[in-house]
Amino acid sequence: MVDNSVDLDAVFKALGDPTRRAMLASLKAGPATVGNLAAPHAMTLAGASKHIQVLEQAGLIRCARKGRERLCALEPDPLRAAERWLNHYAAFWSDRLDALEMALGKTEKD
Amino acid sequence: MVDNSVDLDAVFKALGDPTRRAMLASLKAGPATVGNLAAPHAMTLAGASKHIQVLEQAGLIRCARKGRERLCALEPDPLRAAERWLNHYAAFWSDRLDALEMALGKTEKD
DNA sequence: CTGATTGTCAACCATATTGTTGAATGGCTG
DNA sequence: CAGCCATTCAACAATATGGTTGACAATCAG
């Protein structure tokens, strides 16, 4: 029941930005500071900080002060929840690939 | 290579709206018309039509005229691409659950 | 204490998103 | 043809998003 309280809206919205997805990818290597996450992304620190807040609100990362820095780490639960949602579609991935053509031919589906 | 030309930005953005996710869920039962997809979602047909266009642009569905209706069907590739992206994080789902605490304790990660 | 580093906050701008209405299109039906 | 049905288009409004700047708070180093 780990991923019950996950807000898929917030999670998918957060994932819908390449900067944020890149930040998550960076965090696969381990926890990182805000400045660290911001560095590769030609934008101000304030801008990056906002992205990080979006990720944190979505529950995708968790952050905590460490001295004057802020350390952020990946939080896997929401990703798993998203993956689970997508998995409900796994049944389709085998067949049904041309559902549209079939439907166009049949007009009615039994 | 099926899911190569998939725009994850568009896909995740499209998934970041509950109305659109619900529409996709409806389409699991089989192809449906615009009116059909719109029906459960207290909004004008024009509004629903826009959502459907977003889904279509993201490649998540494919639509075609069928007489005076427009028939839409699930297109699984982008969902699979999204799932694949998430899967790069699967390695985390076993351990690393408290990476932040560990990092706070250690300051350096070797 | 002074000053540099790290990050956030508030205000602001430009653009995108979500939704509405009302008119228009395309297609079936009598 | 006339009219209805399903859908889209255009214009608009409200709000959200992504980004900037400049001021501020907190912490570390000397």
Q: Tell me: the pLDDT tens digits for B53-103?
A: 999 999 999 999 999 999 999 999 999 999 999 999 877 766 665 776 676
- Which nt sits closest to A45, CA to C1'? C7
CA pair distance B107, A96, nearest whole angstrom: 51
pLDDT at A109: 38
Please list, in sequence order, all residues whose beta carbon lies within 8 angstroms of the beta carbon of residue B50, skipping any fewer than 6 positions away: none
pLDDT at A90: 79
Portion of chain A with pLDDT greater than 90, in percent: 73
Identify which has the larger pLDDT, A109 or A91: A91
Q: Tell me: the pLDDT tens digits for A11-29?
A: 999 999 999 999 999 999 9
Q: Tell me: the pLDDT tens digits for A77-108?
A: 999 999 999 999 877 766 666 776 677 665 44
| Residues B97, A3 contacting (CB under 8 angstroms) | no
| Residues A23, A1 contacting (CB under 8 angstroms) | no
| Residues A87, B79 contacting (CB under 8 angstroms) | no
> What residues in A contact B59, CB-CB < 8 Å?
none
Mean pLDDT score of chain B: 88
- Output DSSP code: residue B67: T
Q: Which of B91, B93, B99 sits opposite A31 (nearest CB)?
A: B99
pLDDT at A110: 38
pLDDT at B94: 60
Strand D within 7 A of A44 CB: yes
pLDDT at A97: 60
> What residues in A contact B28, CB-CB < 8 Å?
88-89, 91-92
Architecture of domain A8-106: Orthogonal Bundle (1.10)
Indicate whether B107 pLDDT > 50: no
Residue A10 tokens read as: 């917030």
Portion of chain A with pLDDT greater than 70, in percent: 82
Query: Helices marked H in A1-110 — which ranges?
Result: 8-15, 18-27, 34-38, 45-57, 76-87, 99-106
A47 CA to centre of own chain: 18
pLDDT at A5: 84
Strand C within 7 A of A88 CB: no
What are the sequence ranges of the domains in chain B? 8-106
